[in-house]
Amino acid sequence: MIIKAGIEMSYASKIGIYQGDCKVLSGKHQMFSCYIEEFAKTINTGDHGLDLGTGPSGCNAKFFTLAKLDGCDVEIEVIDSLSSIDYMKTFLYVLGKDTLPYGDETLDFVVCSCVIQHLNSFHELEMGISDISRVLKPSGSFYLMFKVGTNNTILTHHNEYYNEERSFRVFSLKSIIDLASASFKLISHEYLLDENHIAYCCTIFQKL
């Protein structure tokens, strides 16, 4: 469940019309999916990873066909929309509140794309990154794409695709690097602009 300025929102109503990809107005690639696809090419055959916050139908899974990929999301309706062909296992999980159902240092990579914008506080981000760090192996990869702005503030805009006003929590790259520095080193980052003229940052971290 997503909190929008104190109002609960759900992707359950958007499963049939979910915008699984987005145009990039300014950036290295033309579509959001191209960044995921590029990251997937760095993953070794047979690596075990997690698509954290799959969204309806799990749009990222098709890029990780050579890996063992699990998927999780916050709503049962979203989980039910995922294909067992694309994911080894699926489960409910709320970033920043729940504990991932893995032992320490068991995953090779984690993908977290357009998820942390739904968190309710910087504290939840801290808890979420700590949980991700716990389950990643040393040298494991952490793909994090997020709406970027003045750290820990609310951004409200009109989304043309859904024709509705939407609110999200944005974070600064510096604050995320500082937060993650105890467990991760930053491998790469790029700022980009989506078709709603919203700024994002696409980052790849490596577990220390």
Q: What is the pLDDT of residue 9?
A: 54
pLDDT above 70 covers a percentage of the chain that reads 96
CATH architecture, domain 22-57+66-198: 3-Layer(aba) Sandwich (3.40)
Contact 86, 62 (CB under 8 A): yes
Residue 105 confidence (pLDDT) above 50: yes
Q: What is the pLDDT of residue 12?
A: 73
Q: What is the pLDDT of residue 203?
A: 98
pLDDT average, residue stretch 58-73: 96
Contact 92, 70 (CB under 8 A): no
CA torsion 80-120-7-101 (nearest 10°) is: 20
Residue 4 confidence (pLDDT) above 50: no
Predicted TM-score (pTM) of this structure = 0.94
The strand pairing partners of 200, in sequence order, are: 147, 192
More confident residue, 107 or 9: 107
For 140-156, how does the pLDDT look when each residue is reduced to its tens digit (9 = 90+)? 999 999 999 999 999 99
Contact 185, 205 (CB under 8 A): yes
CA-to-CA dists, residue 67 to 7, 37, 43, 163, 172, angstroms? 37, 13, 7, 36, 31
Q: What is the pLDDT of residue 170?
A: 96
pLDDT above 90 covers a percentage of the chain that reads 84
